[in-house]
Amino acid sequence: MIKDMMSSFELHQPVSIGDALALLKRNGKDGWAMAGGNDSLSWFKDRVKKPKAVIDLTGIAELRGIRETADGIEIGALTTLAEIETNAIVKRKFGLLAKAAGHVASPQIRNTGTLGGNVSQDTRCWYYRAGLQCYRAGGNTCYSDTPTGMNREHTLFEASRCIAVSPSDVSPALIALDAKMVIRDSASTRVVNAEEFFIGPAVDITRMTVLKPGDLLTAIRIPNTWAGATFYFEKVADRATWDFPLVNVAAAMKVKGGVIQDMRIACGGVEAAPKRLPVVEDLAKGQKKDAEIAKLAGGAAVRGAKPRNFNHFKVSLMQNLVMRAIRDA
């Protein structure tokens, strides 16, 4: 809880993916991969995370850039959110991602914050970030899930001891676009669906993604499946600039003759992982895109929600965001 200076660590600045992977393997759980540093430095300054070695990835050119491929686009994990927000290819084909990136924090943070860092960041729970020994930190209590706990920002669904949520704005958009995450370790490369990249506490309460010590997210691939579709993104936060979402929604739809032919939709801020809404997708497919189906979809989206003492407002907020996503896209 002492917040006067960072703990000491070794700083490594590799210039190739191979060197970075070797350093991550050598340091194991004591190593920390740092991208833009906006979230990492906050942890270090508060002395909550104390890695022995920090691997600064910013010198690795291979991890930057947006490339068109035969199947869609590939975005390097170190590509900044500002680049994604303004890139002509992303705006033309996948405007949903450009808009989501443009809602992250502030222009200054988007200029340094990266796509890989945004999807890999840890939760913002007050108690966890303060260094208390909650379940996620290895203790045996969830301080948020008590009669007097501060849980205004916390989950509505699928809580398993920990009720913290994913803070990422771009994650629901990547799920709606059926993105693929390219992960490398020192021995192999694997590709994981964005929907499976994020995990809840029932899978592993110490992590929010499938990344383990030694793993490195190198790129995000977005297939042409949803290129040029009808998109909708909206974020509700306490302040328009800087704040993390209370709830956000991202939707991709294929609409023909006013009828929804196909759809993917996900919400953030309501579960430990970004929550895809298959019940809404199934309800909307084949239906006319109008206010009536939008209202039904909003009600279906919040079915099974279990609000905490101070976040009941999130139920109606999520319901209205889903409704608007279908009606106003």
pLDDT digits (tens, 9 = 90+) for 188-202: 999 999 999 999 999
In a domain, 216, yes or no: yes
The pLDDT assigned to 264 comes to 98
Give the domain extent around 45. Answer: 10-58
Query: What's residue 158's pLDDT?
Result: 86
43 and 185 in a single domain? The answer is no
Sheet holding 216-223, edge to edge: 66-68, 72-76, 216-223, 180-184, 189-193
Q: What pLDDT, on the 0 to 100 scale, is given for residue 3?
A: 58
In this structure, are 73 and 203 located in the same domain?
yes
pTM of structure: 0.97
What whole-number distance in Å separates Cα of residue 33 and Cα of residue 18?
13
Residues 18 and 101 both lie in one domain: no
Same domain, 178 and 256: yes
Strand-pair partners of 232: 251
Q: Do both 178 and 52 map to the same domain?
A: no
Which of 58, 77, 93 delimits the end of a domain?
58
Determine the pLDDT at residue 206. 95
- 230 forms beta bridges with 253
98: domain CATH number? 3.30.390.50
Q: Is residue 3 part of a domain?
A: no
Distance CA 45, CA 23 (A): 23
Residue 46 in any domain: the answer is yes
pLDDT recorded at residue 19: 98
Would 156 be classed as within a structural domain? no
Find out whether 166 and 123 touch, Cβ atoms under 8 Å. Answer: yes
Same domain, 184 and 236: yes
Residues of the chain with pLDDT below 50 are none
- Domain count for the chain: 2
* Residues in Cβ contact with 237 at an 8 Å cutoff, skipping those fewer than 6 apart: 243, 244, 245, 246
CATH code for the domain of 40: 3.30.43.10
